[in-house]
Amino acid sequence: MLLEIKDFGICNLSVAPVRASASDASEIVTQLLFGDAVEVIEKGQPWVKIRFTADNYEGWMDFKQLTYIDQEEYDKVSSIPLQYLQDPLLTITGPRGKQNIMLGSALVNFKDNTMIFGKEIYTTEQIVNAGALNLIQTSLDYLNTPYLWGGKSIFGIDCSGLVQNIFKVHGKLLPRDASAQVHEGELIAYADRKVGDVPFFINAKGIVHHVGILTKENEIIHAAGCVRLDPFDEKGIFRTDLDKYTHHYQSIRRY
């Protein structure tokens, strides 16, 4: 039976690339994680154009990487507060066999260690989200993840994807890019900063281009080469291994 492309879909892979144009050679602009629900705005094969409804990011992806659902099921999924995976990895079994999903994945319709969407059923034998994690503990699970432009997974992530995923797990949905995240939340004076606040950094043109999260008043976790911890002060981020400031401070927001 041919796969029917409907108006909505849910990512059925651990991670799937979303590209700027309908080509495998095109730039990855973002990624979907397992359970992410999207609107299909252009249908085709092998490419569909989607809008990730949580942050309105658009792009192209392989049509086979979605489980398609109708408007009624999409509305039902969207109306219920989602539970997100807080563990680094979770092994599930579904229609394609075993697969590992990762931190930040949406546990759609999760009940009794089972998820159901479309005509697909996924189960796990593991205890899910057993520990009560806080924002900083979640942040540290990303340490040493390689930097990947457009990435949102524990195997490759960019600076704004890191911040977006961490806050999503803890119930706060943010825009995809640092340039938009800087307009969210409350502006905080440098002297009033505290753990969990989000500093932003500007390039030579004064444009916000980098973001991270304070793990201590004078320490930041951010993605630059890899996800790492570095000293932070009113000038910016100081790399002790390079003996220089690499990112210039602009402001701090609290979400």
Q: Which residues are catalytic?
A: 159, 210, 222
Pull the structure tokens for residue 1: 């039976």
Tokens of 61: 């992806």
- Dist. CA 91–CA 102, nearest whole Å: 9
Helices (H), the chain: 71-79, 135-140, 159-169, 178-181
Positive or negative torsion for Cα 132, 134, 140, 141: positive
Other CB atoms within 10 A of residue 230 CB? 20
Q: Is 79 helix (H, G, I), strand (E, B) or coil?
A: helix
Q: Hey, CA dihedral for 207, 209, 211, 217, is it positive or negative? A: negative
DSSP string, 101-151: EETT-EETT-BTTEEEETTEEEE--S--S-S---HHHHHHTTTTPBB-TT-
How many other C-beta atoms are found inside a 10 Å radius of the C-beta of residue 236?
A: 19
Q: How far apart are CA 153 and CA 242, in angstroms?
A: 27
Tokens of 186: 């409350």
Work out whether strand 114-117 and strand 89-94 pair parallel, antiparallel, or are unpaired: unpaired
